[in-house]
Structure 1
Amino acid sequence: MSLIKNVSTIGGLTAISRIFGFARDMLLARVLGAGGVADAWQLAFQLPNIFRRLFAEGAFASAFVPLFNQRVGGKDGNDDAFRFANDVLAVLVPILLGFSGLSLIAMPWVMGLFASDALAADGARFDLGVAMARIAFPYLAFMSLATLLAAILNSMSRFAAAAAAPIILNLCLVAALVGGAMLGEGEAAKHQTGLFLAVSVSLSGLLQFLWLWFWARKCGFHLKLRRPRLTPEVGALGRLILPAVLGAGVYQISRFIDLFFLSGLPDKSITFLAMADRLNQLPLGIIGIALGTAILPALSRYIAQSEDGEAFRLQSNAVELALLLTLPAAVALYVTGTAITRAFYTGGAYTAADSIATGSVVAMLVVGLPAYVLVKVLTPGFFARRDTKTPVYTAAISLTLNVVLNLLLVPRLGVEGLALAGSLAAWTNCAMLYAILAWKGHFHLTGQVAWRIARIVLASAAMGGVLWWLVPLGTDWYVGGVLERITSIAGLVLAGMIVFFGLAIAFGVVNRATIGQLRRRKA
């Protein structure tokens, strides 16, 4: 398996999706602003989205892929693997229908549980939030089915279709926002825009499912609805999924915890966190999802075939590549976050003060960016060995620490403290996962890799120093005309890339040998 090739495929398409997502949030800031309808929409959108990432992309994919891979290429070809997938589908559909139905009925109570004091006190806005959440919630069912198809495609090393699917969501949301912007200003227009957004979310889920169904058929998988049967294989999947909810979904569970604490913070806090998280999700989604998705199928096959050396090499390469890409991104966003939010978010209903507040949250979120990506790289080392219990224990400790830190930091720092608490908890989880892998003899950093990581840290620090000096020079340009805003941010990005990659090459971190190692299919 060529790690660079597969990560480039997934990361490149994910990058396109994230760019559309960033454009979506720029429009959202200008049309809905912060607070009011914007807060109601963010909460309504996050509920199905967090469930999707937690159960579908997190737990389900992590448990399904190793079991599916054991059956790929057997004596019956892929027929046994496809039979297993259809057995899973037969059980999954009624579960999704039942969960979605109960959620729609209980939505007022669920919204009341997470709504801020300001949102709960405004009856019209609260009712709008409930309506938006109910309209958008079918997205969870569609995307859970789509995740099954994506897992099948990824297991067969067909990464492009699944990586491209999220682009559909952002295109639908952008279309809804453009339609909302044409309605004009005022609360009535904002309310209608919120309903447009909710409809577009569910529609995008259906379109993504159909997109992946088409490509799965081209790979030979024919989706068949059968009477649900709890076969031994499906039972094994269920036993893996339950602990994997914690092990693979710690980031999303922390988002639920954040919602609880956000409910006690002032108006606009949930919007500030959501807008800041978009910047954090750019590198997290592109790098973290790409690496985690790319290595799990191959790692499962290497371990199943007792190729321990190849498994070690693959995980080592993934850790090095993760830090090579996330450390400079985290440093750059920490230093330039406020400049970026001022340049891209300020305008329309989103004030300069809103942008500055969002930039402060960005700085606290990206403290944990490398850790979140490393967790996605390290947890496949457990899931590929069908060990879902260990990540549960580390995640439970991390989440407990997150709650304690929230209790300490949120009263003092507000939404910034909430973001920082999640980052520190993520580093704790990452450290525990690595220590246990090393203790069990599955993976550890060699001296050569550790020395390269140290040089990545030095190059990132030097880049951060240069950006720290450059940021104040463009203060007036960040809120100027469109050309001035684009030029100022492009200048910062270009300067950061020149400094970091120049030093990385000078330090020998990026060279032909490193790239060749990452591109190798066999050791």
Structure 2
Amino acid sequence: MAQSDSSRPEQPAAPRPGLLRSSSLVGMMTLFSRVLGLVRDMVIARYFGAGAGADAFFVAFKIPNFLRRLFAEGAFNQAFVPVLSEYRHKHGHDAVRGLVNAVAGSLGFVLLLITVLAVMGSPLITAVFAPGFIDDPIRFGLASDMLRLTFPYLLLISLTAFAGSILNSYDRFAIPAFTPVLLNLSLIAAALFLTPLMSQPIMALAWGVLLAGLLQLFFQLPFLMKLGLLPRPRVDYRHEGVSRILKLMAPALFGVSVSQINLLLDTVLASFLPTGSVSWLYYSDRLAELPLGVFGVAIATVILPNLSRSHASRSPEHFARTLDWAVRMVLLVAVPAGVALVLLAEPLLATLFHYGEVTARDIGMSAQSLRAYSIGLVAFMLIKVLAPGFFARQDTRTPVKIGIIAMVANMVMNLALILPLAHAGLALATALSAWLNAFLLWRGLRKDGAYQFTPGWGRFLLQLCAANILMAGFILWYNAGANWLDAMATERIQDMAILVVGGVLVYGTTLGVGGVRLRHFRGH
């Protein structure tokens, strides 16, 4: 008897888009979201500055956001996508649908339980994540109250990330990449329109987070319906796919999310520092995460399904070429971004945030931590593309060992650097531990034979160095003697536009003259 269509392994209906094209699509959508995110942060800074209310909100928002990155976009995504790709390759649509239903029910039940417990115990969670707030009744009370509204975001955004993982596995990259725009729009609207209605104005932002979670989840459901994969949740921990995902998730919690744990440790220690330290770290981290979110996450999002398919189809050469392409793309973007952020820390922060309640001291303090974070930008992005090289092969033990080493190193450096450098020491420790993490991941992939250099690396590095040196020279020349803090807003925006556009042109032109062409990075 002929095998039914629903039980046959799926075959692609059309050629898959190239890696560069897919990464560009995700990058453009993410760039739009990140630009709106900067607008969001500018609005928050203008209304609330870097005071007690802002510190409390950033802690209340960071807790579910950290857990979301840890469980949903981090460990869960890295465990779920390879298993889903294998089901698509070896089984039929009915089996995929059964996996989706079982994962939706099992994941949703755990998240619901965690959310209920967290809402009931919000003061205890605040004390754990921000112990420095305990002796400050205003910040502690505000953070605890806001956490009751922001923590359900974990449930909603984790299910959103689950839906996005399915769409990404079917090469529907645009929808998940666009979804974060709704968070930024919600927070901007809450700050502008809900703030005047609240007895505690900062509470408007917590309501904005809750609304954003609902909007993001329901936005993606129609697209799952088109794929015939709208979940009908069913709690089934005995399902073969769910069992494998759980086994892969446990160690992956550390392996993929070390940088997030390190950032959270920064927040915990910063809560003991002077008022404003949490906000200074937040504003600087947001700028450092702009290139990371736009390009690093875009490349990682695209290569994970690609690597998973290569592993499932036993194509080690394609696997190694994909990783090498990703590393080159990261260096092409991360090196100039890191150089620019170090050189333009104060100008960028002044242009974006030096309005309303944000003082010149806030800009100077944020610039210190931004420079420190920028030192690790290349490493942060390399981690994003090297970790999938292990998870696509369903190897979660190696990254967890590396993650623990990097996390312990970060804790030691935090304690060593916090006294002489305060909040900037926390950022520098995070950057240095990221470099250790990236190096150990790269060495592990090389040792396994999963990563191999393709021809042309020597010339590429020379081209990259020349382009960055000339770009840095242009920035230093144009920025010499500028006074960004006293300049008018229009002058700051104009000069920053010239620096950004001019820097990009110098960098791109130098690469072009040196022989770098777009076709070299199209992927396969």
Q: 1:226 aligns with which of 234, 249, 254?
A: 234
Aligned amino acid, residue 261 of structure 2: I
Bigger drift between 454-463 and 232-241 goes to: 454-463
Measured in 2, the distance between the counterparts of 1:75 and 1:33 equals 54
Structure 2 counterpart SS, 1:443? coil
Q: Tell whether 2:413 aligns with 1:410.
A: no
For residue 358 of structure 2, give the secondary structure of its aligned residue in structure 1.
coil
Q: Aligned partners of 1:379, 1:330: CA distance in 2, in Å?
A: 21
Matched, 1:168 2:171: no
Aligned to 2:139: 125
**Cα offsets for 1:114-133 (capped at 9, x unmatched):** 3364x433323321211101
Does structure 2 conserve the Cα–Cα contact (< 8 Å) formed by 1:139 and 1:202? yes
In the alignment, is the contact (CA less than 8 A) between 1:60 and 1:241 conserved in 2? Answer: yes
CA deviation after TM superposition for structure 1 residue 410, in Å: 0.8
Counterpart contact for 2:321–2:452, Cα < 8 Å: no
CA contact (8 A) 1:375 1:433 kept: yes
Pair 1:342-2:345 in alignment? no
Gaps of 5+ in 1: 184-188
> Per-residue deviation at 1:483?
1.9
Once the two structures are superposed, residues 293-322 of structure 1 have per-residue CA deviations (whole angstroms, 9 ceiling, x without a partner) of: 000001110111112221111111111011
Per the TM alignment, residue 89 of structure 1 is displaced from its structure 2 partner at its CA by 1.1
Please say which of residues 269-278 and 123-132 is displaced more in the overlay: 123-132
Deviation track 1:373-422 (CA, whole Å, cap 9, x = no partner) reads: 11111111111111011111111111111011111111110111110110
Match of 1:315 among 300, 303, 323: 323
User: Which amino acid counterpart does residue 309 of structure 1 have in structure 2?
Assistant: E
What is the alpha-carbon root mean square deviation over aligned residues? Answer: 1.6
| Number of the residue aligned with 1:488 | 495
Alignment match, 2:162:
148
Output the CA distance in 2 between the equivalents of 1:379 and 1:520.
Answer: 19
Contact 1:323–1:453 (CA under 8 A) maintained in structure 2: no
Give the fraction of aligned pairs with identical amino acids, expressed as a percent. Answer: 36
Provide the residue aligned with 1:432 in structure 2. Answer: 440
Structure 2 counterpart of 1:507, from 507, 510, 514:
514
Which deviates the most, 464-473 or 257-266?
Answer: 464-473
User: For residues 273-311 of structure 1, what are the alpha-carbon distances to aligned partners after superposition, in whole Å with 9 as ceiling and x for unaligned?
Assistant: 000111111101001110110000011101111122211
Note the alpha carbon deviations across 1:467-520, whole angstroms, 9 max, x for none: 1232234325x5433321210110111221122112111222x21xxx324325
2:289 matches 1:286:
no
Query: What pairs with 1:106-255 in structure 2 (closer than 5 Å)?
Result: 106-115=121-130, 117=132, 119-179=133-193, 182=196, 192-255=200-263
Instruction: State the match for 1:82 in structure 2.
Output: 97
Counterpart-to-counterpart distance in 2, 1:471 and 1:58: 39
Contact 2:18–2:523 at 8 Å: present in 1 too? yes
Q: Which residue of 2 aligns with 1:98?
A: 113
* Letter aligned with residue 494 of structure 1: V
1:473 and 1:38 map into 2 onto residues whose CA distance is 33
Gapped regions of structure 2 (runs ≥ 5):
1-16
Aligned residue type for 2:514: F
Aligned: 1:360 with 2:363: no
Number of residue pairs matched? Answer: 508
The one-letter code of the counterpart of 1:507 is G
Cα distance in 2, alignment partners of residues 520 and 295 from structure 1: 10
Distance 1:450 1:384, change over 3 A: farther
Instruction: Give the Cα–Cα distance (whole angstroms) in 2 for the partners of residues 75 and 45 of structure 1.
Output: 40
| Amino acid corresponding to residue 116 of structure 2 in structure 1 | G
Deviation at 1:181, TM superposition (A): 5.9
TM-score of the superposition, structure 2-length normalised? 0.94
Contact persistence 2:55–2:139 (CA under 8 A) = no
1:67 pairs with 58, 79, 83, which one?
83
Corresponding residue for 2:8?
none
Please state how far the C-alpha of 1:356 moved relative to its aligned partner.
Answer: 1.6
Equivalent of 1:516 in 514, 519, 524: 519
- Aligned partner letter, 1:495: G
How far apart, in 2, do the equivalents of 1:438 and 1:149 lie?
33
TM-score if structure 1 supplies the norm length? 0.94
Deviation at 1:453, TM superposition (A): 2.7
